[in-house]
Amino acid sequence: MVNKEIEKTDPLSSLKEFTAARIAIGRTGTSIPIKQSLEFKLAHAHARDAVYSVLDTDGLLNSMQPFNLPILHLHSKALTRHKYLKRPDLGRQLNEESAELLKDYSTNADIAFIIVDGLSATAVNENTYPLLEVLIPQLNRAGLKIAPICLVEQGRVAIGDHIGHLLNAKLTVLLIGERPGLSAADSMGAYFTYMPKPGLTDESRNCISNIRPQGLTHKPAAEKIFYLINEALKRKLSGVALKDNAGLLE
């Protein structure tokens, strides 16, 4: 009864419908209620599980067959999850076998999609197909050439620069599992880089974050990505100079 009264009088309670963050959770004595304490521990367990989740390569391959695009399975220089977490630099580099494979796929494509497990393969497994199901038909209707889709295990964001360069693509769209938080372990990010090449830094990229059913849902995310792709190709740039002004257009 006390907790219900606290929730009613807490000025933050009205914000709970807009966020999954832990606000207005009440208290029991000097601590938080048992229910909220257990929910916190469960969310922490989900976040840890997401970090160690595995890219569902077979499921992704099967789901993306309708796109009629070649799909390449690549790997970074981090051979294990333990090495990936301890050595971020290895996750930014392709291993030799993957680099050799890509030499046969210099495409001159407009766009290369690169799907990377990152810090939550769960996010990629759950959100990649619903997003691309909306986005790829839009790109096809626009007459844009799409390179082979690349699935990358144990990868970081910068690995897309090496892949895009070897594919000779004008623009990379890298989909990656974001660092799981205690309110979202299934969040995927999309990073854009115009004229990718090894050695680029973060100011050369644009990012759309929190792509998931309880965040930025797939259809609005696809529309935003489509807008930024067109702007990047038209203006021949990405990064800090490329702004998302879609909502300002009449």
For the segment 39-57, what is each residue's pLDDT rounded down to a tens digit? 777 766 777 767 778 999 9
d(CA 41, CA 147): 42
| Domain range annotation of the chain | 2-12+26-51, 57-244
Question: Taking the model in full, what pTM does it have?
Answer: 0.85
CB 235 within 8 A of CB 219: no
Cα distances (angstroms) measured from residue 102 to each of 68, 72, 88, 99, 129: 19, 9, 22, 5, 23
Annotated binding-site ranges for adenosylcob(III)alamin: 157, 178, 207
User: What residue type is assigned to position 73 of the chain?
Assistant: H
Return the pLDDT at 156.
97
Task: Return d(Cα 154, Cα 201) in angstroms, integer.
Answer: 19
pLDDT tens per residue across span 70-120 = 999 999 999 999 999 999 999 999 999 999 999 889 888 999 999 999 999
pLDDT in tens, 185-230: 889 999 999 999 999 999 999 999 999 998 999 999 999 999 999 9
Architecture of domain 57-244: 3-Layer(aba) Sandwich (3.40)
pLDDT over 90 at 132, yes or no: yes
List, as residue ranges, the binding site: 157, 178, 207
- Determine the Cα–Cα distance for residues 143 and 128; give it in Å rounded to an integer: 22
pLDDT cut 70: percent of the chain above it: 90
Supply the DSSP symbol for 237.
-
Specify the 3-state DSSP secondary structure of 1.
coil
